[in-house]
Structure 1
Amino acid sequence: MGNRISVLLTFISLVLLVSACKSKSFDSKEALLIYLKDVENGYHFQKSINGIDYALTYRPTDLLVNQSIGEGHQTEEVAKLRKKYADYLYFNLSLSANGQELLNQNLGSRAEFGARVNQFSFGMAEKVSLITQNRDTVPLLDYAYPRMYGMGNSTDMLLVYEKRPKTLKQDYLLFTVKDLGYGTGEVTFKIDTKKINQQPQLNF
């Protein structure tokens, strides 16, 4: 009798473990975005320092796939795109002050304004870093900064990093942003790699 109970408990534990490791799936992009923006789920991070609001959000592979597929897509197309985007890590970095873009802040001179525009447009590779638990730097492959010309609620950019298998075998990654000239000092976010390995998906 005791052996049967032990076997049953072991089976239940394995079922619970498999369920915990299974990626969540969503029927719509909107539902997935709501899930990602909930800080409790481990994909969205926020800090406010010296009046500057920082937000970092991991973008799962399927969000990129969703942007690329057309109407009436085939299963083979989804699989192909998933394979294409799965080789990279995507993050959205959002910066704001008083609910506005950082460039809306009073910078004191036209020259300083131009310097900040140039920094956001071309110099962020020197300001942001993705670092492994072993203190290795993950290469930044590309980033996109769409100018909103003061019409947005925040300064946003998409950052693309190389995904290396050994990187995601470590426990965590550190995403750092150097001081951008607003007196915040370096800002760091700690990312649990299990969340990336078990990233949520869309039901295409």
Structure 2
Amino acid sequence: MRSLFILFISLAFFSCGNPPKQFTTVNDGLQYISESKHGFVKDTLLGNGVEVKIQLLPASLVQKNNNPGKQKYFSIQFSLKGHELLAQLPREEYGAYVQLFSFGMERYIFLQSESGKEYPASMVSYQPTYNMGKSNELIVVFNEDFSSCKALKLVVKEFGLNIGQIDFPLDLAKFNYSPTIEQL
């Protein structure tokens, strides 16, 4: 009985730690990182009801390549009451914010190191969904070497919707996570 208890405790201890080093398919990996309990997703509900959700996307899962390079990917989603944030704006503001999301958000999103150094996004991509989704999603790419950073946070500066600046501290182990995929 005591041996069974020790085995159970050992399994619980060792299975809680590190994420898997390998997935059979890209979809298996995406499913894993989408579950909040694994720490790749962070959600913030602001006082005005706006929900901002970020997700770290390991490059090997985005590029479908086991040698992804130094690119770092994030998904940033904005919603209000379970619907796209931009679709709930007055008609006269909607077009301007779709333009901003499509062509100007790189001015408002960056990574910041513990020393205060800012790393701008190398690309921000937005695909309008015309109120067919639950959120407005930005895919953000960084193409820098972050190996000397001891701490990083993703910063989304105020961009006109009065949501303020949002800081997301990053877990560097998750940030540097790069699983391999068996079936590319």
TM-score, length basis structure 2: 0.80
Name the counterpart of 1:184: 163
- Alpha-carbon distance between aligned partners in 1 of 2:89 and 2:123, rounded to the nearest angstrom: 29
Code of the residue aligned with 2:159 in structure 1: it is: L
Please, which of 119, 128, 133 is the counterpart of residue 138 of structure 1? 119
Name the counterpart of 1:47: 44
Name the counterpart of 2:76: 93
- Alpha-carbon distance between aligned partners in 2 of 1:201 and 1:97, rounded to the nearest angstrom: 35
Instruction: Please identify the structure whose Cα radius of gyration is greater.
Output: 1
Shift of 1:114: 2.2
- Alpha-carbon distance between aligned partners in 2 of 1:180 and 1:52, rounded to the nearest angstrom: 14
- Alpha-carbon distance between aligned partners in 1 of 2:100 and 2:170, rounded to the nearest angstrom: 25
Instruction: State the identity %.
Output: 26
Name the counterpart of 1:72: none
| Aligned-residue RMSD, C-alpha | 2.3
Please, which of 31, 35, 40 is the counterpart of residue 38 of structure 1? 35
Query: What are the Cα deviations for residues 92-133 of structure 1, in whole angstroms up to 9, with x where unaligned?
Result: 1111111111121132x52x2222112111110111111112
- Alpha-carbon distance between aligned partners in 2 of 1:186 and 1:118, rounded to the nearest angstrom: 20
Name the counterpart of 2:181: 202
Code of the residue aligned with 1:118 in structure 2: it is: Q
Please, which of 53, 58, 61 is the counterpart of residue 60 of structure 1? 58
Q: Which runs of 5+ in 2 are unaligned?
A: 1-12
Please, which of 171, 174, 184 is the counterpart of residue 150 of structure 2? 171
Runs ≥4 residues deviating over 4 A: 20-23
Q: Is the 8 A contact 1:143 1:159 kept in 2?
A: yes
Q: Is the 8 A contact 2:106 2:120 kept in 1?
A: no
Q: Is the 8 A contact 2:82 2:135 kept in 1?
A: yes
